[in-house]
Amino acid sequence: MVFIPFMEDQMERSEVKIWSLLHAPTGPIAIYIDAIARDLLEQGFTRRSIAPQVRLIAKFSGWLETNAITLTSLSDEHVGVFMRAVERPQSKRIGDRPCLQRLMCFLRSSNLIQQPAINNSVDASAIQQAMFNYGASLLKDQALSRSTCAQYISFAEHFLSERFGSGVLNFDELRAADVVEFIRRQASRYSPARAKSATIALRSFLRYLRMRGAVSLNLAAAVPTVPNWSMTGIPRAISQDHVEAVLASCRRDTAVGCRDYAILLLLSRLGLRSSEIVALTLDSIDWEQGSLAVVGSKGGQRSELPLPADVGSAIVEYLQRGRPRSACRSLFLRVNAPIAGLGSQTSIGSIVVAAIARAGIHPPHAGAHQFRHALACQLLRQGASLTEIGSLLRHQHQKTTSIYAKVDFTALRSISLAWPGSAQ
């Protein structure tokens, strides 16, 4: 076994070799394998899991050399060609493609290869190209959040796909009847709230087309209104007994348990949204002032919330015992490599679902938002005003908070009419 030596700066930091190969690697990536291995180690991969990744990267580098492919011309397409041409089905591992994707990210972040070209793909369909341009406009010109952009793009793409299929994309052929029929189909398939979202997205897209001069008619005015009365339901809150059962289900002697317990406390004690928890960083906490800076998912408004003692203690316990060592500034990290932030709000939902299953309870509703509703209902029962609740939950409109008046049974009972007759 021939061990390839580290660079001098790596030897100064550690005399333990991270990787070894039977033969010295060749090709344009060979001189960067030390740095790649260190990067994988920093992402949380063990030395055992780094070894097969280094072998694959060395093989890929040798293939690039054989095919006279330099770093200046390297692209994601070469990864696919390599996987199809070199790797036999029986020799492929599940982690091979993610390994090479991490390699490409490393090379790009190190400015060793060019960034992927998004707007010049000859294979992109006309609809995909239109959605790319529309999405760029939503982000740049309207400063919408990425989740909102994704929702708008989904409906717009669906509309164009139903109207044009795989044919020529000719916006001049769009008529008011196309718009009305699309919304009618959405209204028959989805809930009123979902159908209303379709109308909002479609109006946005049609205004965009007119602004770009792609259509001459004001088709946005043809989008029909879908009835969706607000305040028709009641808050879907998990009971306090179930909240305590969920918190008790976390094994706080494990790294995962420490993390999940702190997250569940943020949901139940402060009523944070899933996206707000994912966005928290190490800089969000002011330990001297005992406050937590939260950037709202709706409007991006920054708020300073008091940090309850039990929530602060849980976060400290996680930072000391459960949080992996990482340069990532996100407060909550993945447990398994690659070590990074939780990524999206669906991660919080998965944590909630797992905690509910461990607790062995069956609340009437699922998801993380039920903890936010539960906090509001509990504060209302303790005598807090709707204004105070709206301030804590960072509602932009008072109307949003007023829905909790429906669960204030004490106040409702005082204004209820007596039952006629002798019946009680």
For 340-393, the DSSP string reads -B--SHHHHHHHHHHHHHHHT---SS-SSHHHHHHHHHHHHHTT--HHHHHHHH
What pLDDT shows up at residue 6?
36
Closest CA to 238 of 351, 368, 350: 368
Domain 126-222 has CATH 1.10.357: no
Mean pLDDT of the chain: 82
- When pLDDT is averaged across residues 34-49 and rounded to a whole number, the result is 87
What pLDDT shows up at residue 28?
94
- When pLDDT is averaged across residues 38-44 and rounded to a whole number, the result is 86
- When pLDDT is averaged across residues 356-360 and rounded to a whole number, the result is 92
Query: Is 240-277+308-411 the same fold as 126-222?
Result: no
pLDDT at 103 over 60: yes
Closest CA to 208 of 155, 165, 164, 168: 155
What pLDDT shows up at residue 160?
93
Pick from 196-205, 241-250, 338-347: least confident: 338-347
What residue type is assigned to position 366 of the chain? A
Q: Where are the domains of the chain?
A: 8-109, 126-222, 240-277+308-411
Tokens at residue 235, please? 């808050």
- Would you please indicate which residues are annotated as catalytic (active-site) residues? 273, 298, 369, 372, 395, 404
Range ranked top by mean pLDDT from 39-48, 65-74, 160-169: 65-74
**Cβ atoms within 10 A of the Cβ of 380, count?**
22
The larger pLDDT score, comparing residue 424 to residue 377, is at 377
pLDDT at 343 over 50: yes
**Confidence class of residue 375 from pLDDT cuts 50, 70 and 90?**
confident
pTM of the model: 0.62
Residue percentage of the chain with pLDDT more than 70: 83
Q: What does the pLDDT look like over 119-144, one tens digit per residue?
A: 444 345 788 889 999 998 998 888 78
CA distance 387 to 125: 50
**Confidence class of residue 345 from pLDDT cuts 50, 70 and 90?**
confident
Q: What does the pLDDT look like over 383-417, one tens digit per residue?
A: 788 788 777 787 766 666 666 655 555 544 554 55
Domain 240-277+308-411 has CATH 3.40.50.300: no
pLDDT at 206 over 90: yes
